[in-house]
Structure 1
Amino acid sequence: MPSSTALRFTDHVAIVTGAGSGIGQATAVALAASGARVLGVGRRQEALEETARAHSNIAVLSSDICAEGAADRIVTAAVDRWGRLDLLVNNAGVAALMPLAETDRAVITDLFDVNVTAPSLLAHAALPHLRKSSGSIVNVSSTYGHRPLAGGAHYAASKSALEQLTRSWALELAPEGVRVNAIAPGPTETDVLAAAGLDEDAVTEIRTNERERIPTGRLGHPRDVADWILRIADPQGSHVTGQILTIDGGLELS
């Protein structure tokens, strides 16, 4: 049980997308442990239920964030349950390795639907409530949102777009007291590569190569990222907005 001084999100309400595993799950649990009431959103009900079992402050909603009307339903579910909204964590995302020679329209569309359009619509739906609470949006980008990724240009471009949305929304909403920041994880121990359709051998090879390039000598852990999401969303950090904080063990320096 955290000490009372650690309960910096007490009485605050947060929505975390992609909460069934990885960074989203770690963030939902960390927020709940810090006093927040959390609506964890994802597509897999069983995975969401595992997240909910981790803390009594977590409720879950199974939803495809790209579905028509999903953003409004998600925000309404949180506000109807707890009466307010203070934080939106746009964590859900997809990755794809797709060299230019193998460009596929459907893959591009899916990347931008999940990584750009859905977070935009969620932010739009959340905004009236965030204005009332002087709340915050945290977008989860990637170190490849601001560095090139050979063979994964469209994934990198979608995350770059999310970072530009972060800066632009921060500038637009600062006069209204709403902060917008982003966390950009480097290679992290999640199932994102398997979810992208890569087999176990390919995932192992990529992870080994990544680990060798990271100055700290290890992949990130979801808790590493979740910790910084909480720090940048901290209600006491009212003068921090428009920032992209990279958590990649120094990879972008190499």
Structure 2
Amino acid sequence: MATRELSGARVAVLGASGVLGSLVTRELTSRGVRVLLVGRDPDRLAAAAGSAPTVTITDLADASAGETVTAAAREQLGGLDGVVNAAGVVAFGPLVDTPDEVVEELFLTNVVGPLLLLRRLLPLLVESRGFVAQVSAVVAERPLPEMVAYSASKAAASAVATALRTELRRSGVSVHDLRPPHTETGLADRPLAGSAPRLPRGLRPEDVARRIVDAIAAGEDDVAAAAFGGPPR
């Protein structure tokens, strides 16, 4: 388990306009990381960015998005040492009641879009012997009823990390699979469809963001939900 010096590193955060992504950005910045913020909400990106460069992606599943981010990383940062994928959407309800377009959007945002973007960014990461950090979720380990498509999309994101880690081993690129438990980001209040079931108290997003960055620095490549601890009493 090789540690990684983060100070001075150049890292793209996908989903930086979301609550967890913005907090990961803040945590990275506090450790001297030069961050490129990538997201779909330009106003929230600007609020999170400070003086850091941003890239607004209107369609994550558009292959040109990866080319745009790659160009921005080269122009703004001179390359890239890491990517944190903190983008995600959720939906609730029985599968039979979940519209086809919702299932499609879950996989486009949680799996397909990040895969297409990673394809374009990997040459930069190979150059720098950098890292990929996939933020999945506890449902990748314990899929839940009435969250079937969401659970499947997060399990797919974890599968990407596991397979990619082996594929990139000789290139020196490390891949982290991070599966936090339910976190109080407010995402459950903004589902694509359905209503959230009664959920236990979640973790503080600040704590989860810190744990994610700690894991990257410590070289932890597989961080299960249990490794994030429980919510504060």
TM-score for the superposition, normalised by structure 2: 0.89
Separation in 2, partners of 1:244, 1:142: 10
- 1:171-213 Cα offsets, whole Å, 9 max, x none, are 11111101111211211111212321579xx56xx4xx322xx
How far residue 161 of structure 1 moved from its aligned partner, in angstroms, is 0.7
Which residue identity does 1:228 align to in structure 2? R
**Equivalent residue number for residue 53 of structure 2:** 59
Residue 217 (structure 2) pairs with residue 227 (structure 1): no
1:46-125 to structure 2, matched below 5 A, reads 46-53=43-50, 56=51, 58-64=52-58, 65-125=60-120
> Which consecutive unaligned segments of at least 5 residues does structure 2 have?
none
Tell me the matched-pair count: 226
How far residue 44 of structure 1 moved from its aligned partner, in angstroms, is 1.1
Q: Secondary structure at the match of 2:62?
A: coil
1:123-134 to structure 2, matched below 5 A, reads 123-134=118-129
Separation in 2, partners of 1:117, 1:244: 22
Distance 1:138-1:161 versus aligned 2 partners, 3 A rule: same
How far residue 248 of structure 1 moved from its aligned partner, in angstroms, is 5.5
Residue 166 (structure 2) pairs with residue 183 (structure 1): no
- Tell which has more relative contact order, 1 or 2 (C-alpha 8 A, sep 6+): 2
How far residue 62 of structure 1 moved from its aligned partner, in angstroms, is 1.5
- 1:127-163 Cα offsets, whole Å, 9 max, x none, are 1111111100000101001102110101000000111
- The answer to whether the Cα contact below 8 Å between 2:208 and 2:228 also exists between their aligned partners in 1 is no
Q: Which has the larger radius of gyration?
A: 1
Residue 64 (structure 2) pairs with residue 45 (structure 1): no
Separation in 2, partners of 1:195, 1:75: 30
Which residue identity does 1:11 align to in structure 2? G
How far residue 84 of structure 1 moved from its aligned partner, in angstroms, is 1.3
Residue 224 (structure 2) pairs with residue 245 (structure 1): yes
The one of 199, 206, 210 aligned to 1:210: 199
Separation in 2, partners of 1:35, 1:73: 24
How far residue 165 of structure 1 moved from its aligned partner, in angstroms, is 0.9
Which residue identity does 2:18 align to in structure 1? S
Residue 26 (structure 2) pairs with residue 29 (structure 1): yes
- The answer to whether the Cα contact below 8 Å between 2:84 and 2:134 also exists between their aligned partners in 1 is yes
Which residue identity does 2:43 align to in structure 1? E
Which residue identity does 2:152 align to in structure 1? A
Residue 140 (structure 2) pairs with residue 145 (structure 1): yes
How far residue 14 of structure 1 moved from its aligned partner, in angstroms, is 0.5
Which residue identity does 1:16 align to in structure 2? V
- The answer to whether the Cα contact below 8 Å between 2:98 and 2:193 also exists between their aligned partners in 1 is no
**Equivalent residue number for residue 166 of structure 1:** 161
- The answer to whether the Cα contact below 8 Å between 2:179 and 2:224 also exists between their aligned partners in 1 is yes
Q: Secondary structure at the match of 1:185?
A: coil
Aligned-residue sequence identity (percent) comes to 31
Separation in 2, partners of 1:9, 1:245: 22
Separation in 1, partners of 2:186, 2:117: 24
Q: Secondary structure at the match of 1:93?
A: coil
What is the RMSD computed on CA atoms of the aligned residues?
2.1
Which residue identity does 1:179 align to in structure 2? S
Which residue identity does 1:31 align to in structure 2? L
How far residue 82 of structure 1 moved from its aligned partner, in angstroms, is 1.2
